[in-house]
Structure formats: C-alpha cells, structure tokens
Amino acid sequence: MFCLLSGLILNMKSADGTRIHYGYVTTPVAKAAIVISHGFTECMPKYYEMIYYFAKAGYSVYMVEHRGHGFSDRSVSDISMVTVNSFDDYVSDLDMFIREIVMKREGRRPLYLSCILRSILRYLQRQYFQAL
C-alpha cells in the first residue's frame, strides 16, 4: 500500500466545508506530478497499484476522493450511496485540490488523469488548464 510506505493520506475542507479525503506520494526530483480523478463509485484503494507504478517511474502522484466517495463526506448517512448536489461541486473541489495542495507542493502544473465523467474533464480542460 502506497500510503503505508511513502505517501500521506489527509483531508481538506472544500469551499462549503465538506471534508475531502486525498492522498499523495512524492518522488524526489519528480519528472512531473500526476493528479488522478477517479470514476463514479470508485475510491483511492482501486488505484494503489497504478500509483505505485507511476511513483516507481519517477512521478509524484496525487489523488482526491470526490465528495460522496470513499472516505470523503457524503450528504446521506448510507455509506453505500454516492450522491452529489451538483457536478459543479466536483469541479470546485478538484480545482481547490489542484491549486491548494498539488500546485503549492509541486510549484508547477500537474498532468491530469481522469476517470470520472467526461463533462468534468472537458470543463476543466477549457476553464482551468488553459487559464494556467
């Protein structure tokens, strides 16, 4: 497990106070930083092996568990349900994660690997990544 060997598992508070779970593995003199955005109903452990291989290849890897997924807060008490009030919440959380966690640690734009809904990726490509 990457989190027990050389990474950290932490939480951040989103703009609306939702607790967002995230983790990262940094590599000295990394080639680049990679941000992984998981898919619907997924969470961080599914990506441990992929994170391991990216880190072994010389990349720092960051991953956020979107609200309503994994250990991040959800708006319902049933932990088997995934809910979100608006897809804009995902975008806002991911934007905050990249700006406040990844870019402050790395000092540069990350590479982005998205497995979540295509509309979020398209939005980020147009609104966020081109603005940097």
User: pLDDT tens string for the chain (132 positions)?
Assistant: 344 345 678 999 999 999 999 999 998 889 999 999 888 888 899 999 999 999 999 999 999 999 999 899 998 988 888 888 887 888 889 889 999 999 999 988 888 777 655 556 566 666 655 554
Q: What is the DSSP string of the chain?
A: -HHHHTEEEEEEE-TTS-EEEEEEE--TT-S-EEEEE--TT--GGGGHHHHHHHHHTT-EEEEEE-TTSTTS--SSS-TT----S-HHHHHHHHHHIIIIIIHHHHSSPPEEEE-S-HHHHHHHHHHTGGG-
Q: What global pTM score does this model have?
A: 0.81
